[in-house]
Amino acid sequence: MAELYRSQGKYAEAEPLYQSSLAIAEKALGKDHPDVAVSLNNLAGLNDTQGKYAEAEPLYQRSLAIVEKALGKDHPTTKKIRNNLQKLDTTL
């Protein structure tokens, strides 16, 4: 549902859903699980889309640290999140 709201530009509706997804994943899987990293990346992307770069950056960084440790530097998910962070860095 959060992705649908995001795609419709309904960011205020999407944000609590992304935050809830992150909280559930952290509680169920632990803070260092790759699925938590995906939730972090999604929330970071929402902030990035809204120009909230200062909020997005630490979320991308934490997400990247998790997937690099869990999946390795060459995993497709790691590459995607690293690319998101690099795009943000060029914006700043």
Q: What is the pTM of this model?
A: 0.94
E-only strand ranges, 1-92: none
How does pLDDT run across 30-44, given as a tens digit for each residue? Answer: 999 999 999 999 999
Spatial distance between the Cα atoms of 69 and 46, rounded to a whole number of angstroms: 24
Residue type at 23 in one-letter notation = A
Spell 3-23 as b/e; 16+ CB within 10 A means b: eebbeeeebeebbebbeebbe
Give the model's pLDDT for residue 47.
98
Q: Which two tokens stand for residue 8?
A: 């419709």
The answer to whether residue 92 scores a pLDDT higher than 90 is no
The answer to whether residue 91 scores a pLDDT higher than 90 is no
Total number of domains in the chain = 1
Domain that includes residue 73, residue range: 2-91
For residue 20, what is the domain's CATH number?
1.25.40.10
